[in-house]
Structure 1
Amino acid sequence: YGYDEVRTWYFEVWNEPNLSYFFTGTQDEYFKLYDYAARAVKSVDSRFRVGGPATSCNSWIPDMIRHCREENVPLDFISTHHYPTDDPLWRNGGISVEEFFKKIGGTLGSYERGVLRKMTEKAREEAGNLPLIYTEWNTSAMTRDSKHDESYASAMIAKTLADNDGLVQGYSYWTFTDIFEEGAQIPGAFHGGFGLQSYAGIAKPAYRLFQLFHGLGTKRIGVSSDRIGGTVEALAAETESGYRIIIYNHNIPDAPIGTENVRIDISAVPGKKSLSLYRIDDAHANAAAVWKQAGSPEYLKPADVEK
């Protein structure tokens, strides 16, 4: 790749060292591992970027910064992970893997609406002037959560991206595909996997939502509403060819949510107007719904994938 390319990369040390599933040592032992790794990276080129602690639940950020300052260890960015199902474990920062999986296995949906914004605000404050990068997040931390395949995911992703705009320097959704073997590959065309795509490469509603965001451009504009306290929100941006408005209706799992009528007033936009509508819901851009209508076959033929 060459030095110029590699200088644009972020070298993250380890993965979730606060969970014994991934790291059986102590926090101090992780810091020792980080020290060796960070100094090795910098020994190749001082402009290579290295950071951590790559923890689950927004953990260890103040401790990481304090250690690196006291020991004069390079730290170019803060990285961590979060999921809404981390709530309330993220509030204290120190958890065991047993606590973590007991929580997400038993009480999915108990978190409050918009909790990822609160997590990010706390991590942003703790990170100070360092870039903050989330290298994992999703609508839940469960690998068999059917909502990963449904339009619910697209609505929550839209809210999360809108809420966290400007708070982070990187926000990496976990993950690209259901080809995922951390705990063995799970069978089934749609099985609630983490991926934006099924193992056959079929785009889920979450993937389609990211497609819409990809066309937003970089200039966000304000949106106002005459209704307060509902589940419908919007984000708008100016693009090279006009404006794009993303409207989403989101609530936490098992909480009340209804069909809403939305009126968009763009009378302040000058000139002639044309409109294109893209919809993601239970009947549009929803491959899992089509699969269920076909009888939920475990294995798909090429013709099924093409649909």
Structure 2
Amino acid sequence: MMRLQNILAGLAFVCGASFAAEPVKVTVDFSKPQGAFQPITNWFGYDESGYTLAPNGQALLKELSEAYSVPVYVRAHHLFTSGDGTADLKWSSTNIFTRDADGKPVYNFAIIDKIFDAWREAGVTPMVELGFMPEALSRKPSPYRIHFGEADMLSSGAQEPPTNYQEWGELVRVFTAHLVERYGAAEVGRWYFEVWNEPDIPYWHGTREEYFKLYDYAVAGVRAALPGAKVGGPATTSPRGQKGAAYLKAFLAHCAEEKSAADGKSVPLDFISFHAKGQPKLMADGNYVRMGLDKELADVREGFRIVAASPFAKLPIILSEADPEGCAACSAKENPANAYRNGPLYAAYTAASHKAMLDLAAEYQVNLISLLSWSFEFEGRGYFEGFRTLATNGIDKPVLNFFRMAGKLRGQRVAAESSGAISTDDILKNGVRGAPTVDVLATLDQGHAAVLLWNYHDDDRPGAAAEVALTLKGLPKGAKLLREYRIDEGHSNAYAAWQKMGSPDAPTTAQIAELKAAGGLHMVGRRVTAEGRYALPRSGLLLLVFGD
């Protein structure tokens, strides 16, 4: 029987088979809507705005746009940083602001226009992060450019406050006016303008009060050029930490109770942003990685508590970085725990965090609109080096296929229960360290229905497949054709295909074509019924789609 179960674990669909173990019972009732399904996974970001213009960067942006039927938002650092536009690990630049021989401001939009044009051409919508400080406006400009790994990159002059806050506000005003002229007020009015990044750590070398002043002048500049623009912040780090929580609370108090340093009026705030990060670690015996989903969810819960207790409880919340850990540019070479990024565990983790965040938002009655994955691609690097990326050298990773799956969830969220699910409260208390969590999320949009299941465990090591017995209720009559998609060791997994090739450093043209095919989201079959038993491998995801 054990041998039979191992065989079944690799099959896409099992109907009428007998199982030795009690299956996980999953019931989806499409006749019980639970409110509008809020897409939150359609947001992405990266340090190196210049990689937008790289061939693989442009291709990846188009893939992200095509994955969703709703707008896809993109956030990037270094839009105001000085330099020639060359991108590198955790660095980029646009040279938007310099001075002439008389010290007067000179604005140059040549590089930044290419970035925004590429975003628009790819069909994605900018989330405009206003940062970092131009060299000619920095309070302490030297050293300005620091290469990743050579020293503390956050000791750069790009993280300094401005020498003149009026000039900072004018830079933001001129930039916003340029965007309006180039793309139209209606289009730019759809975008979100976020002031800076993580001012509670050395991404900002000023005081908290100086950040508030920076914010005031920035939003005044945006609103002067586009009165209806959506502005917000503070993009602070982990609220589960005392410093991050205190900073977020103080910022909200500033917006609620104080006057703007720029114009003496009330401080505009249209959305609230903060960051949430997990904490994976290599276990003592060195044989496997243990994820820290509980840590990321603790950030989200504490942030929601702070917002819910503030005067801004109904404002949109943007998790403008929400990831398993903090350093996208750190590879598995620098930190072996980062090896999780290559395989399907990253996808299963993101599925589990996605549902938990939706549930926490409902519990605290806050308006969560974004789980922004800080992940993109790096040019000129080896294949599958363990960077936190969606693709490597144009080859899609399994995690990108989770986002493709998530893009098929839409309409109304419907009742869905799993006997194998671990509650969000339990994950927050204990992580997923005993039995795995086998959970489900389902939506209905007229004739389009989708059921997403995953088998997640914090420990990145082999485990038995879950045997899922699926029951569907209330499925609309028109939603009969079923498409089945999978992510696991054998499906939608270019990393596994690369390993089977012997992990080549320089794949041949034929091997690259094979890897690209393996990296897509695999539809493993079409059926007219879905009820029955499914084998769901550890770190595996299964999506069932009915209708269009």
The normalised TM-score by structure 1 is: 0.82
In the alignment, is residue 64 of structure 1 matched against residue 270 of structure 2? no
- Which of 110, 127, 131 is the equivalent residue of 2:316? 131
Change (3 A) 1:257 1:124: farther
Change (3 A) 1:36 1:228: closer
Aligned-partner Cα distance in 2 for 1:227–1:248: 10
Structure 2 unaligned regions, length at least 5: 1-182, 260-265, 282-288, 308-312, 332-337, 362-367, 423-435, 515-548
- Name the residue aligned to 1:158: 351
- Name the residue aligned to 2:224: 43
| 8 Å contact kept, 2:276–2:297 | no
Aligned-partner Cα distance in 1 for 2:508–2:184: 42
Shift of 1:77: 1.1
Aligned-partner Cα distance in 2 for 1:289–1:263: 28
In the alignment, is residue 260 of structure 1 matched against residue 466 of structure 2? yes
| 8 Å contact kept, 1:139–1:148 | no
Q: Which has the larger radius of gyration?
A: 2
Aligned-partner Cα distance in 1 for 2:278–2:372: 15
- Name the residue aligned to 2:195: 13
Residues 181-201 of structure 1 deviation map (CA, whole Å, 9 limit, x = unaligned)? xxxx7x311111121111x22
| 8 Å contact kept, 2:345–2:460 | no
| 8 Å contact kept, 2:278–2:291 | no
In the alignment, is residue 243 of structure 1 matched against residue 449 of structure 2? yes
Aligned-partner Cα distance in 1 for 2:384–2:233: 33
Amino acid at match of 2:509: P
Change (3 A) 1:162 1:44: same
Aligned-partner Cα distance in 1 for 2:212–2:205: 13
| 8 Å contact kept, 2:277–2:299 | no
In the alignment, is residue 140 of structure 1 matched against residue 336 of structure 2? no
Aligned-partner Cα distance in 1 for 2:342–2:194: 29
- Name the residue aligned to 1:278: 485
Secondary structure class of the residue paired with 1:31: helix
Please give the residue correspondences for 1:109-120 in structure 2 after superposition, counting only pairs within 5 Å.
109=290, 111=292, 113-120=293-300
Aligned-partner Cα distance in 2 for 1:302–1:165: 42
- Which of 271, 293, 304 is the equivalent residue of 1:77? 271
- Name the residue aligned to 1:204: 397
Aligned-partner Cα distance in 2 for 1:42–1:268: 48
Identity %: 31
Please identify, of 274-283 and 189-198, the stretch whose mean Cα deviation from structure 2 is larger: 274-283
| 8 Å contact kept, 1:204–1:288 | yes
Residues 45-90 of structure 1 deviation map (CA, whole Å, 9 limit, x = unaligned)? 2211111111221322211111122123222111111111299xxx
User: Structure 1 or 2: larger strand share?
Assistant: 2
Aligned-partner Cα distance in 2 for 1:227–1:55: 35
Aligned CA-pair RMSD:
2.5
- Name the residue aligned to 1:176: 376
Secondary structure class of the residue paired with 1:173: strand
Amino acid at match of 1:10: Y
| 8 Å contact kept, 1:177–1:195 | yes
Amino acid at match of 2:196: W
Amino acid at match of 1:136: E
Amino acid at match of 1:175: S
Aligned-partner Cα distance in 1 for 2:343–2:401: 11
Please identify, of 269-278 and 137-146, the stretch whose mean Cα deviation from structure 2 is larger: 269-278
Change (3 A) 1:172 1:65: same
Change (3 A) 1:125 1:213: same
Amino acid at match of 2:405: L
Change (3 A) 1:171 1:270: closer
Greater relative contact order (Cα < 8 A, sep 6+):
2
Shift of 1:243: 2.1
Aligned-partner Cα distance in 2 for 1:63–1:256: 45
Secondary structure class of the residue paired with 1:192: coil
- Name the residue aligned to 2:416: 223
- Name the residue aligned to 1:96: none
Change (3 A) 1:228 1:289: closer
Structure 1 unaligned regions, length at least 5: 88-107, 180-184
Shift of 1:300: 3.3
| 8 Å contact kept, 1:215–1:239 | no
Secondary structure class of the residue paired with 2:453: strand
| 8 Å contact kept, 2:189–2:228 | yes
| 8 Å contact kept, 2:322–2:372 | yes
Shift of 1:116: 3.2
Shift of 1:256: 8.6
